């Protein structure tokens, strides 16, 4: 019996020692793991302090006037976008406005805008006039001691430039010269596009980058129809992507710019929720092709609502003045997809401080990487808008306080969509330049990638078999 008790005591002693040893080993392993975790996080903190986040671009509109971009050496470059502009023949730009340069081989291809600015045609032509405002802004940036800040500065050495600007007034060319006259085989617009492609592809700047750092203006959806597929490596400035395949134009590569509104801006707006009697406003073309069928369907759904104005309208017979008055007296303004996802109606609404109701599933909006449109707009899916009573009930359900908040925000953001010459801080002209500047790092990356195999040679001195298999357009 005593022997059994002695053996049991020995076994218990051994078991306690084993448990103690296991506990000690576990504690040591836990301590070591904590040590390595802490060491790892300390290393990350060191990296963060070495490359502080504040060295990257602050893309808020109120901060974007100072473009601060890290280069490949991690130094910070501050200042306006550096733009090289081709000295193209006036037939591509101000010549389309009937301006002619003075006789003589030494005369400039540009008008002296300090003395005379060729006027741009009015009416609906104005909505796609960004090419005019950007070109004027570049020309004005050359003047010394200009009493204003600039978002872009013209440079004369293309190797110093961030982007290469192509001054072709493509929207104006389409609007004025797309028809074929009886004595012509092709339109002047088509001829100019052919000349443009020939000119650009022959330039050393285009060959150097494959056109990737070129800025091409094609704001009218039908502009550059013949040239766009040949110039697609370039950065396009567009109103939307409705008539472009994604291989030619896309949100990663290109910039969406605002239309210039055609209705009168609502200056000194002291109106309010109760002083705007119309709940929901739309005036324009109702029967459209492509994705614009929704306009017709909404007309049938809303035509009997007493406080909804939904009617056909055009610029004729004082149409612009009527639209201005109607929008200024409306709480909400419909922006519905037409032949393309976008329309000028959105920017007319913003200028009227009329809360936009956007029904366009495929719309891309200007500067949406820095502006939150949900703060001053109402978005409705097309499938929901076409449900009976859905849209009108949604709009009626928005309270006076909610509407007033959006109305106040509209008055804050409207400056981003106004075009001026000379340009003003954070107006539409400078916002477009800033949007281009934010694309520059991506442009440089694509250019660098395109050069990966450009110098590859085999032992025989011939191009590497791998580089020959990779199409240049892939990059």
Name which of 41-50, 300-309, 378-387 the model is least confident about: 41-50
Q: CB atoms < 10 A from the CB of 4, how many? A: 8
State the Cα–Cα distance between residues 2 and 325, nearest whole angstrom: 111
Alpha-carbon span 135 to 141, nearest angstrom: 10
Q: Is the peptide bond before 145 cis (omega within 30 degrees of 0)?
A: no
Comparing 70-84, 107-121, 245-259, 362-376, the range with the smallest average pLDDT is: 70-84
426 burial class (0-12, 13-18, 19+ CB within 10 angstroms)?
buried
Phi then psi for 334, rounded to 5 degrees? -75, 135
Distance, in Å, from the CA atom of 273 to the CA atom of 270, rounded to the nearest integer, reads 10
Beta bridge partners of 69: 77
Placement of tokens 């003589």 in the chain: 104
- For 205: left if phi > 0, alpha if psi spans -120 to 50, otherwise beta; the answer is alpha
* Model pLDDT for residues 394-446, shown as the tens digit of each residue: 999 999 999 999 999 999 999 999 999 999 999 999 999 999 999 999 999 99
Dihedral sign, CA of 36, 42, 44, 46? negative
Q: Residue with structure tokens 């472009």?
A: 244
Burial class (CB in 10 A: 0-12, 13-18, 19+), 227: buried
8 or 50, higher pLDDT: 8
Dihedral pair phi/psi, residue 68, rounded to 5°? -115, 110
Asked if 253 and 281 touch (Cβ cutoff 8 Å), the reply is no
By the 8 A CB rule, do 116 and 94 touch? Answer: no
- Average pLDDT rounded to a whole number, residues 194-212: 97
pTM for the structure as a whole:
0.81
d(CA 364, CA 295): 19
Q: Residue 464: is its pLDDT beyond 50?
A: no
pLDDT of 260 higher than 70: yes
3-state secondary structure the chain: CHHHHHHHHHHHHHHHHHHHHHHHHHHHHHHHHHHHHHHHHHHHHHHHHHCCHHHCCCCCCCCCCCEEEECCCCCEEEECEEEEECCCCHHHCHHHHCCCCCCCCCCCCCCCCCCCCCCCCCHHHHHHCHHHHHHHHHHHCCCCCCCCCCCEEEECCHHHCCEEEECCCHHHHHHHHCCCCCCCCCCHHHHHHHHHHHHHHCCHHHHHHCCCCEEEECCCCCCCCCCCCCCCCCEEEECCCCCCCCCCCCCCCCEECCCCCCCCCCCCCCCCCCCCCEEEEEEECCCCCHHHHHHHHHHHHHCCCCCEEEEECCCCCCHHHHHHHHHHCEEEEEEECCCCCCCCHHHHHHHHCCEEEEECCCCCCCCCCCCCHHHCCEECCHHHHCCCCHHHHHHHCCCHHHHHHHHHHHHHHHHHHCCCCCCCCCCHHHHHHHHHHHHHHHHHHHHHHHCCCCCCECCCCCECHHHHHCCHHHC
Structure tokens at 368: 């949406």
Beta-bridge partner residues of 70: 76
Lowest mean pLDDT among 11-15, 38-42, 190-194, 264-268: 38-42
Which residues are 463's β-sheet partners?
457
Looking only at the bridges linking them, the beta strands covering 76-79 and 67-70 are antiparallel
294-310 residue pLDDT tens: 888 999 999 899 999 99
CA-CA distance, 346 to 225, in Å (whole number)? 25
Please give the Cα distance from 281 to 305 (Å, whole number). Answer: 11
How far, in Å, CA of 65 to CA of 250, rounded?
25
Could you give the domains of the chain?
79-254 (no CATH), 271-415 (3.40.50.2000)
Give pLDDT, residue 38. Answer: 45
Mean pLDDT of the chain: 84
* Structure tokens given for 434: 């800033």
For tokens 């007033």, the residue is 404
Model confidence over 326-338: pLDDT tens digits? 999 999 999 999 8
Q: What does the pLDDT look like over 84-120, one tens digit per residue?
A: 999 999 999 999 999 998 876 456 899 999 999 999 9
Q: Is 452 or 11 the better-scoring residue by pLDDT?
A: 452
User: 84 and 205 in contact (C-beta within 8 Å)?
Assistant: yes
Q: What pLDDT is stored for residue 466 in this prediction?
A: 40
Q: Work out the widest C-alpha separation in the chain, in whole angstroms.
A: 129
């Amino acid at each position: 019996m005593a022997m059994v008790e002695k053996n049991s005591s020995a076994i218990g002693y051994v078991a306690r020692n084993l448990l103690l040893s296991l506990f000690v080993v576990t504690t040591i392993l836990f301590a070591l793991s904590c040590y390595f975790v802490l060491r790892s996080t300390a290393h990350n903190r060191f990296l963060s302090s070495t490359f502080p986040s504040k060295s990257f671009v602050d893309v808020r509109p109120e901060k974007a006037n100072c473009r601060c971009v890290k280069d490949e050496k991690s130094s910070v470059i501050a200042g306006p976008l550096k733009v090289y502009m081709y000295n193209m023949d006036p037939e591509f730009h101000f010549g389309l406005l009937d301006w002619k340069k003075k006789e003589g081989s030494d005369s400039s291809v540009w008008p002296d805008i300090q003395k005379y600015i060729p006027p741009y045609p009015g009416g609906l032509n104005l909505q796609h006039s960004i090419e005019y405002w950007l070109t004027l802004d570049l020309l004005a940036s050359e003047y010394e001691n200009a009493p204003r800040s600039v978002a872009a500065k013209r440079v004369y050495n293309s190797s110093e430039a961030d982007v290469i600007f192509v001054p072709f007034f493509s929207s104006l060319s389409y609007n004025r010269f797309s028809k074929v006259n009886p004595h012509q085989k092709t339109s002047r617009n088509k001829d100019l596009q052919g000349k443009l492609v020939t000119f650009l592809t022959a330039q050393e700047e285009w060959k150097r980058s494959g056109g990737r750092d070129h800025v091409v203006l094609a704001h009218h959806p039908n502009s550059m129809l013949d040239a766009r597929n040949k110039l697609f490596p370039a950065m396009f400035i567009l109103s939307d992507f409705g008539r472009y395949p994604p291989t030619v134009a896309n949100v990663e590569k290109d910039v969406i710019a605002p239309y210039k509104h055609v209705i009168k801006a609502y200056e000194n707006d002291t109106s309010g929720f109760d002083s705007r009697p119309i709940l929901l406003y739309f005036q324009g073309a109702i029967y459209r092709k492509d994705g614009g069928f929704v306009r017709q369907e909404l007309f049938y759904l809303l035509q009997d609502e007493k406080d909804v104005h939904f009617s056909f309208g055009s610029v004729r017979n004082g149409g612009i003045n009527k639209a201005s008055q109607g929008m200024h007296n409306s709480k909400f303004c419909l922006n519905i997809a037409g032949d393309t996802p976008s329309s000028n109606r959105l920017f007319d609404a913003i200028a009227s401080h009329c809360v936009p109701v956007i029904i366009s599933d495929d719309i891309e909006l200007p500067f949406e990487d820095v502006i939150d449109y949900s703060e001053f707009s109402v978005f409705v899916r097309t499938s929901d808008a076409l449900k009976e009573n859905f849209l009108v009930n949604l709009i009626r359900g928005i309270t006076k306080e909610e509407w007033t908040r959006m109305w106040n925000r509209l008055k804050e953001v409207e400056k981003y969509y106004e075009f001026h010459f000379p340009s003003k801080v954070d107006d539409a002209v400078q916002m477009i330049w800033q949007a281009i500047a934010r694309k520059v790092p991506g442009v440089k990356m694509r250019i660098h990638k395109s050069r990966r195999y450009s110098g590859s040679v085999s032992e025989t001195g011939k191009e590497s078999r791998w580089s020959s298999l990779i199409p240049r357009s892939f990059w």
